[in-house]
Amino acid sequence: MNKKIFKLKKETGASGLDVATGALIFMMFTSLVFSLYLQIYKQTSLIKIHENALGYIIQICEDIDMKSYGETEDLAEYKNEIVSTIGLPQDKYKLSMYQEKYIDENPNAQDLVKKITINITYNFDGEDRTIIVKKIKVKE
């Protein structure tokens, strides 16, 4: 009987190249997932901070609507009152308010309209961001 002997390559397990390739793919996938997670976390944090700032601005605008035209004349005093009323955290948000009256541009007109500009500035990720809202107050 003739026996044919085939020599097969020995399969002793994973070679060094297989391990290196697997480790490289694992590191790339892990860094991709970590990077995506970090970006999602930053965006959700920014949205929460921005949402809080907009909530404070809405409260300020509603308070301005409730006040009469003359009660919002001294904005420095009004700003201190509104900060304590709504509980604006001064360490996170910086509030600034200023007004422009229609009579400043037209001295012959009556004092009936003013534009109040509300700025809230906050810092996120080393960058200052500002939300600006302009509100018109009319004398009734």
Interval 110-127: pLDDT, tens:
878 889 999 999 999 889
Residue 2 lies in a domain: no
Residue 37 confidence (pLDDT) above 90: yes
Average pLDDT over residues 74-98: 87
Residue 57, Cβ neighbours under 10 Å: how many?
Answer: 20
Residue 10 confidence (pLDDT) above 80: no
Give the integer Cα–Cα distance in Å for 136 and 23: 62
Residue 9 lies in a domain: no
Residue 93 lies in a domain: yes
Residue 8 lies in a domain: no
Residue 43 lies in a domain: yes
pTM of the model: 0.74
pLDDT-derived band at 14 (thresholds 50, 70, 90) equals low
Residue 11 lies in a domain: no
Residue 13 confidence (pLDDT) above 90: no
Closest Cα partner for 139 from 37, 63, 67?
A: 67
Give the max Cα distance, the chain: 124
Residue 1 lies in a domain: no
How many domains are there within the chain? 1
Residue 38 confidence (pLDDT) above 80: yes
Residue 6 lies in a domain: no
Domain of residue 108: give its range: 16-138
